[in-house]
Amino acid sequence: MSRFLKKLTNYKWAALFLIFAISFAFFMIMKSNTRMETDLDKYMPEQHPAFVYSNMAEEWFNIKDGIIIAIENRNGIYNPGTIKKIKDITKALQKMKEIEKDDVTSLYTADNIIGTEEGMDVRPFFKKLPKDEEAVKKIQQNVRNNEMIFERLVSNDEKVTVIIAEIGDDSFSQEFYHRILKMAEGFEGPEKLYVAGRPIVEGTMAYLGPRDMKRMVPIVILVIVIVLLLLLRSFKAMILTMLVVLFSTIWTFGLMAAVKIPIYAVSTMIPIMLIAIGVADAIHLYSHLHLYMKEHPLASKKEATLDMIRGMYKPVVMTSITTAVGFISLITSQVYPIKYFGMFTAFGVIMAMVLSLVLIPAGLMAFGIPNWKKKSKKEAAAAEKQLSFRFSRWVTKYKYLTIILTIVIIVVSLLGIGKVWINSSFLEKFEKDSSIVITDRFINKHFGGTSSLNIILDSTEGDAFKNPDILNLMDKLQNDVEKLKIVGNSFSLADYLKRMNKVMHADREEYNTIPDSKNLNAQYLLLYEMSGDPENLWKVVNYNYRKANLLIQLKSDNSKAINSAIDIIKKYIPEFKKLNVNLNYAGSGYKGLIFTDLILQGQILSLLLSLLIVIILLSIMFKKITAGIIGSIPIIITATISFGIMGIFNIPLSTTTALLSSIAVGIGIDYAVHFIERYKIYAGETGDKIMTGQYTMLHSGRAIVFNALVVIAGFLVLLFSAFPPNRALGALVSLNMFTSFVGTISIMYLMLYMSNIYFKKDKN
How far apart CA 196 and CA 267 sit, in angstroms, is 25
Give the pLDDT of residue 90. Answer: 95
Q: How confident is the model at residue 3 (pLDDT cuts 50, 70, 90)?
A: low
Q: How confident is the model at residue 354 (pLDDT cuts 50, 70, 90)?
A: very high
Contacts of 182 (CB under 8 A, 6+ apart): none
**In terms of pLDDT, which residue wins out, 33 or 357?**
357
DSSP state of 652: -
Q: Is the peptide bond before 190 cis (omega within 30 degrees of 0)?
A: yes
Instruction: Say if residue 232's pLDDT is above 50.
Output: yes
Amino acid type, 35:
R
**In terms of pLDDT, which residue wins out, 180 or 602?**
180
Least confident of 453-462, 467-476, 602-611, 631-640: 602-611
The helix (H) or strand (E) run that includes residue 111 is: strand 111-116
For the stretch 551-598, pLDDT in tens is 999 988 888 888 899 999 999 999 999 999 999 999 888 887 887 778
What is the value of pTM for the model shown? 0.77
For the stretch 519-544, pLDDT in tens is 999 999 998 888 766 788 899 999 89
Give the pLDDT of residue 630. Answer: 92
For the stretch 290-317, pLDDT in tens is 888 888 888 888 888 888 888 888 888 8
Instruction: Say if residue 375's pLDDT is above 60.
Output: no
Give the pLDDT of residue 15. Answer: 85
Instruction: Say if residue 432's pLDDT is above 80.
Output: yes
Least confident of 136-140, 277-281, 694-698: 277-281
Least confident of 220-224, 239-243, 252-256, 570-574: 220-224
Give the pLDDT of residue 592. Answer: 77
- Are 489 and 449 in contact by the 8 Å Cβ rule? The answer is yes
How far apart CA 257 and CA 252 sit, in angstroms, is 9
Least confident of 577-586, 623-632, 653-662: 653-662
Cβ count within 10 A of residue 680: 20
Instruction: Say if residue 373's pLDDT is above 60.
Output: no
Instruction: Say if residue 764's pLDDT is above 50.
Output: no
Write the DSSP string, 440-480.
HHHHHHHSS-SEEEEEEEEESSTTGGG-HHHHHHHHHHHHH
Q: How confident is the model at residue 424 (pLDDT cuts 50, 70, 90)?
A: low
Give the pLDDT of residue 81. Answer: 93
Give the pLDDT of residue 665. Answer: 75
Instruction: Say if residue 384's pLDDT is above 70.
Output: no
- Are 267 and 356 in contact by the 8 Å Cβ rule? The answer is no
Instruction: Say if residue 117's pLDDT is above 80.
Output: no
Give the pLDDT of residue 577. Answer: 95
- Are 275 and 224 in contact by the 8 Å Cβ rule? The answer is yes
* Structural domains present in the chain: 1-33+213-376 (1.20.1640.10), 49-203 (no CATH), 379-417+624-764 (1.20.1640.10), 435-586 (3.30.70.1130)
How far apart CA 71 and CA 160 sit, in angstroms, is 5
Q: How confident is the model at residue 746 (pLDDT cuts 50, 70, 90)?
A: very high
Count how many residues are written for the chain: 764
- Going by C-alpha positions, the residue among 332, 333, 334 that lies closest to residue 48 is 334
Q: How confident is the model at residue 376 (pLDDT cuts 50, 70, 90)?
A: very low
Cβ count within 10 A of residue 97: 7
Contacts of 226 (CB under 8 A, 6+ apart): none
Write the DSSP string, 477-494.
HHHHHTTSTTEEEEE-HH
How far apart CA 375 and CA 63 sit, in angstroms, is 69
Out of 303-312, 474-483, 666-675, the most confident range is 474-483
Give the pLDDT of residue 420. Answer: 83
Q: How confident is the model at residue 763 (pLDDT cuts 50, 70, 90)?
A: very low
- Are 278 and 349 in contact by the 8 Å Cβ rule? The answer is yes
